[in-house]
């Protein structure tokens, strides 16, 4: 991108990917360079629509990949190269996120910038724990305090006497390491030791944990429950409402983090609605074929076919993309019968205004051939099956045995994406993935290649869900157990079976 660059200081929210703002998402998709921190959901990065440069700034509990000066320098340098930079920060950039300091540097250097507020963990974590920060009968004020300044160090600007006297809600961020000092200062300045307190760790995430206590017992409870950063501490009478208002942790699939190994996420949204967190790690990327010659030849002679069989929505998309690129008219398909394997494939064809003649009840090749044969002899009937580069030959061979002529040009191919597996590996090692889903043998094989030699071992304690018996066989041949498999080989059926298996039905 030429011309003057620009920097967006974007708050990504506290963890739940749905809390990223619409404007923040647009900035992320526009960016040429993304400089991001540790305390955000890395799944946000999957929403980038083009090849961008990723720069990890770190900033995890005192351990930094880059110093603040280095971060500032990178933003300025990249913007001066004419690039759009997205400085992606957890929570809100102006709430203890050094966003103000970074904006000052950009202003001093004459770099154009915008600030895109994010949902702060100070607000989101209590809300997901069922603790409203204000309430007409209990609290009419909020004070957000950096717990890292709890010590008596010179220069701390916290007025502890004023905090202790506030008849409202106190929210402490970054306070876990100094929690004894926080408690001592508040009680020492007159705060009631029996004031209710909630501590929310990893708020809005699948591994959210909430501990209730009183101010006096807080350090002991944090130690007993082994609470570590990041966590938000809420002090005030509003904490008493959690018992009634706790909604997130009561969802039937709360605590489940489900690995999705394909690009499309829409079919899995029901899991999210029931409280699961989706971890997207595509092991297959659908791209155009290496060459169009075979498909072009079939399209140019399309009026010679009696049937066009689409085996997937991808086949529909890539076929018609090329069909229209060649300047063809949809009316050329008049008189050709259409078969769609699966409801999603039928839906994709209807999107082009096309009526589907056959949606077989059975996905098995033999059942398909029987369905075609019921309409008459297949001798000399010409079939076009635009499909993936690597596909099973069962259906074409069965049709040929029945006397049909079959062309199977490549309409698209599935390749292994270049995705960094570091965070997924860590989640698997720490037991933070509860279910792994695979929709083909290829998604499983690519997963193993991308994770490395111990990929199978990392899956030992994870429930494995598959779309059907072919995928199950590929996984079981590697010595792993398949726990979840639907009767119908569709993603939607697999999702429902996952819900049933995890006890989320109803």
Residues recognised as catalytic? 37, 59, 174
Tell me if residue 171 falls in helix, strand or coil. strand
> Is the alpha carbon torsion for 149, 150, 155, 158 positive or negative?
positive
User: 204: left (phi > 0), else alpha (psi -120 to 50), else beta?
Assistant: left
Query: Peptide bond before 312: cis, by omega within 30 degrees of 0?
Result: no
Angle at the Cα of 349 from the Cα atoms of 343 and 350, rounded to 5 degrees: 85
Q: Which residues pair with 56 in a beta bridge?
A: 36
DSSP string, 37-85: ESSS-GGGGGG--S--EEEEEE-BTTB-SS-HHHHHHHHHHHHHTT-EE
Tell me if residue 437 falls in helix, strand or coil. strand
- Name the DSSP class of 380: T
DSSP string, 208-235: -EEEEEETTTHHHHHHHTT--SSEEEEE
Comparing CA positions, the residue from 248, 253, 249 lying closest to residue 274 is: 253
Angstrom distance (rounded) from CA 434 to CA 446: 20
- Token pair, residue 490, equals 């569709």
How many residues are there in the chain?
Answer: 506
- Name the DSSP class of 139: B
Of the CA atoms within 13 Å of residue 256, those in its CB half-sphere come to: 27
The answer to whether 197 touches 234, Cβ cutoff 8 Å, is yes
Of the CA atoms within 13 Å of residue 52, those in its CB half-sphere come to: 25
Angstrom distance (rounded) from CA 106 to CA 209: 38
Helices (H), 274-407: 293-300, 313-325, 343-350, 365-373, 394-401
């Amino acid at each position: 991108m030429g011309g003057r660059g620009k920097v967006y200081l974007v708050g990504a929210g506290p963890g739940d990917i749905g809390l990223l703002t619409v404007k923040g998402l647009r900035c992320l998709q526009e960016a040429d360079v993304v400089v991001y921190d540790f305390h955000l959901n890395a799944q946000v990065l999957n929403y980038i629509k083009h090849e961008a440069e990723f720069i990890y700034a770190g900033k995890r509990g005192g351990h930094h990949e880059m110093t603040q000066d280095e971060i500032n320098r990178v933003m300025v340098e990249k913007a001066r190269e004419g690039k759009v930079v997205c400085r992606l920060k957890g929570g809100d950039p102006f709430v203890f996120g050094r966003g103000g300091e970074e904006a000052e540097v950009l202003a001093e250097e004459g770099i154009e910038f915008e600030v895109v507020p994010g949902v702060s963990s100070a607000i989101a974590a209590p809300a997901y724990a069922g603790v409203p920060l204000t309430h007409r009968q209990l609290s009419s004020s909020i004070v957000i305090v950096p717990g890292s300044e709890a010590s008596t160090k010179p220069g701390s600007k916290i007025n502890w006497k004023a905090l202790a006297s506030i008849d409202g809600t106190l929210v402490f961020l970054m306070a876990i390491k100094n929690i004894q000092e926080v408690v001592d200062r508040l009680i020492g300045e007159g705060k009631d030791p029996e004031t209710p307190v909630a501590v929310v760790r990893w708020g809005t995430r699948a591994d959210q944990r909430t501990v209730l206590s009183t101010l006096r017992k807080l350090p002991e409870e944090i130690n007993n429950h082994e609470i570590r950063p990041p966590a938000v501490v809420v002090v005030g009478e509003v904490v008493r409402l959690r018992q009634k208002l706790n909604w997130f942790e009561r969802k039937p699939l709360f605590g489940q983090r489900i690995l999705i190994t394909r690009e499309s996420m829409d079919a899995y949204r029901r899991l999210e609605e029931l409280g699961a967190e989706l971890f997207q790690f595509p092991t297959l990327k659908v791209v155009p074929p290496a060459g169009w010659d075979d498909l072009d030849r079939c399209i140019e002679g399309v009026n010679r076919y009696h049937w066009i069989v689409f085996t997937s929505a991808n086949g529909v998309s890539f076929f018609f993309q090329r069909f229209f690129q060649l300047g063809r008219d949809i009316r050329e398909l008049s008189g050709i019968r259409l078969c769609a394997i699966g409801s999603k494939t039928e839906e994709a064809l209807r999107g082009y205004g096309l009526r589907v003649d056959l949606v077989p009840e059975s996905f098995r090749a033999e059942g398909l051939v029987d369905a075609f044969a019921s309409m008459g002899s297949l001798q000399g009937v010409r079939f076009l099956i635009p499909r993936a580069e690597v596909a099973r030959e069962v259906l074409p061979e069965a049709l040929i045995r029945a006397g049909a002529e079959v062309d199977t040009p490549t309409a698209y191919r599935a390749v292994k994406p270049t995705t960094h597996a570091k965070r997924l590996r860590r989640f698997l090692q720490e037991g933070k993935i509860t279910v792994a889903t695979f929709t083909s043998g290829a998604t499983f094989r690519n997963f193993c290649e991308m994770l490395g030699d111990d990929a199978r071992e990392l899956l030992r304690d994870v429930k494995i869900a598959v779309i059907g018996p072919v995928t199950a066989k590929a996984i079981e041949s590697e010595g792993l157990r398949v726990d979840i498999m639907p009767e119908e080989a569709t993603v939607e059926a697999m999702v429902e079976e996952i819900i049933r298996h995890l006890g989320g039905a109803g």
